[in-house]
């Protein structure tokens, strides 16, 4: 199944290296030598090189001036700033959507996603369909980027989103069964409504500032994990590549 994208040695190398970086097995700043990686993955240098180049595009590796690659280092500040940047970019997407207007059927699709997100909340506060929420949330954010009507903006949103800890779903999957997080989910869903309404009403400023603040929910969750309950770090996969 997953071999759909892993037909070639290059893609397998991309996947394996990405995994190792994410789980912190290859820590930030570590130099990756073509030969040793090739030995370890039991393929030749050529696809390894190709894979490292792709991971550089993805932002997980960096080229060294004199040649070769190192694993990119991410500090806590980088995570915070990446989330802020996602907010800024999604805010821009929302503003442009509002200012330029969106076709009716696209608007309906967005509102449809928001409505389905409502259905993820049951009668009781602790009665939340996390899995469904996560998937619909991802779709909402994807759709929001598209609604900007700008391929350029869409591309940059998806680019920053590809950093695992900056993704809209980074802090969702599993640890949300804490009261504080449940409340933040409710609030986030309120913001989904607001963003959609602002776009429909052509209120650019409101759309932008709400989308920006919406991203900062992730930052609040990050702060909570780091300062209140560091045991959660391991349960947020994306935080495996944090320096330190």
Distance CA(14)–CA(94), nearest Å, equals: 33
**Footprint on residues 39-58 left by DNA (CB under 7 A):** 43-47, 49-50
244 binds DNA (CB under 7 A): no
Distance CA(181)–CA(89), nearest Å, equals: 24
82 binds its own copies (CB under 8 A): yes
Distance CA(239)–CA(28), nearest Å, equals: 12
227 binds DNA (CB under 7 A): no
- Of the candidates 80, 37, 57, the one whose C-alpha atom is nearest the C-alpha of residue 242 is 80
State CA 10 to chain mean position distance: 24
Q: Which of 22, 34, 106, 150 binds its own copies (CB under 8 A)?
A: 150
213 binds its own copies (CB under 8 A): no
Alpha helix segments (H runs only) across the chain: 9-22, 34-41, 45-58, 76-100, 104-118, 130-147, 151-161, 179-200, 204-227
231 binds DNA (CB under 7 A): no
Distance CA(102)–CA(207), nearest Å, equals: 13
Nearer to DNA, 69 or 74 (CB): 69
215 contact partners, CB below 8 Å, separation of at least 6: 83, 84, 86, 87, 90, 91, 168
Q: Between 68 and 107, how does the x/- string for binding to DNA read (CB under 7 A)?
A: xx--------------------------------------
Nearer to DNA, 33 or 205 (CB): 33
**Footprint on residues 84-113 left by its own copies (CB under 8 A):** 84-85, 88-89, 92, 96
Q: How many residues bind DNA (CB under 7 A)?
A: 21
Q: Which does 68 bind (CB under 5 to 8 A by kind): DNA, its own copies, none?
A: DNA
Work out how close the CB of 88 gets to its own copies at its nearest, in angstroms, rounded to a whole number.
5
In the DSSP assignment, the letter for residue 72 is P
Q: For residue 25, what are its two tokens?
A: 């097995």
Which residues are near DNA by CB under 7 A? 7-10, 31-36, 43-47, 49-50, 66-69
Which residues are near its own copies by CB under 8 A? 46, 49-50, 53-54, 56-57, 77-78, 81-82, 84-85, 88-89, 92, 96, 150-153, 156, 160
């Amino acid at each position: 199944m997953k071999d759909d994208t892993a037909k070639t040695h290059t893609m397998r190398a991309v996947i394996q290296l990405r995994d190792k970086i994410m789980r912190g097995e290859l820590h930030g700043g570590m130099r990756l030598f073509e030969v040793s990686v090739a030995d370890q993955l039991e393929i030749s240098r050529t696809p390894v090189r190709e894979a490292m180049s792709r991971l550089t595009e993805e932002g997980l590796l960096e080229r060294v001036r004199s040649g070769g690659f190192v694993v990119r280092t991410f500090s806590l500040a980088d995570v915070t700033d990446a989330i802020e940047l996602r907010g800024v970019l999604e805010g821009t997407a929302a503003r442009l959507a509002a200012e330029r207007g969106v076709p009716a059927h696209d608007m309906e699709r967005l509102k449809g996603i928001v409505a389905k997100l409502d259905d993820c909340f049951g009668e009781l506060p602790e009665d939340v369909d996390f899995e469904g929420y996560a998937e619909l949330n991802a779709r909402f954010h994807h759709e929001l980027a598209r609604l900007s009507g700008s391929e350029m903006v869409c591309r940059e949103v998806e680019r920053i989103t590809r950093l695992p800890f900056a993704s809209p779903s980074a802090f969702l999957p599993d640890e949300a069964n804490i009261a504080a997080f449940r409340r933040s989910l409710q609030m986030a869903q309120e913001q989904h409504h607001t963003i959609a309404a602002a776009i429909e009403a052509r209120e650019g400023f409101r759309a932008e500032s709400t989308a920006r603040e919406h991203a900062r929910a992730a930052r609040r969750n990050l702060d909570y994990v780091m300062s209140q309950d560091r045991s959660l770090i391991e349960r947020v996969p994306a935080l495996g590549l944090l320096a330190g």
